[in-house]
A and B are shown apart, each in its own frame.
Chain A
């Protein structure tokens, strides 16, 4: 089976750093995805980790520890446009991408 947990909501100040944690239990690990979703819009791909460690892409970085079933998304130099939901997802055995409930990030001036 597949179970993915992430916090419901986080608030941070413009220019700051926020770390969104995601824990998962999966019967067949095949990588971990992060998506960004603005309200009412489609999710857009941010990152994909399949090996342990940190992957950096500009202001966004994603980390994975397979032994701990843990990932995080790090958003640096927060901007107002980063206010959105961030979805952690992992492919499960059974041909689907399973999503966590999403973390809503609110960036304040």
Chain B
């Protein structure tokens, strides 16, 4: 089954404790992206990747890192999480950067206390 798999689904952590949210897709998509979703603000792009070893900042990259060492994986790293990073996070992948056929992961609800 074609899918984007995110883990974990839920995570509660403390300020400053490094964490990684994993994202993996099995569709051989070149384009992958991370979004965060907050009430009243909609989905905002954090980082995106157009291919292996090619990543770039989205609208709200501060406090986040990503890597794309393999085509299928695009982890989101929070080196020192803060409470303002409490949010619902989605990974998405697509055949192209224009977004046609975006497939989203099931989401990760992160709480930083």
Contact = CB atoms under 8 A, between A and B. Distances in A.
A97 B104 CA distance: 12
A99 to B, nearest CB: 4
A37 to B, nearest CB: 9
Interface residues of B, number: 28
Interface string A1-36: 000000000000000000000000000001101000
Interface of B: 31, 33, 35, 40-45, 48, 50, 56, 58-59, 88, 90, 92, 97-102, 104-107, 109
A69 interface: no
Contact of B104 (A31, A33, A43): A43
A40 B98 contact: no
B74 to A, nearest CB: 14
A78 B66 CA distance: 41
A42 B31 CA distance: 18
Interface of A: 30-31, 33, 40-45, 48, 87, 89, 91, 95-102
B45 A96 contact: yes
A95 B99 CA distance: 9
Contact of A42 (B40, B97, B101, B107): B107
Contact of B100 (A48, A95, A99): A48
Given A41-B107, A96-B58, A101 B40 contact: yes
Contacts of B102: 33, 43, 45, 97
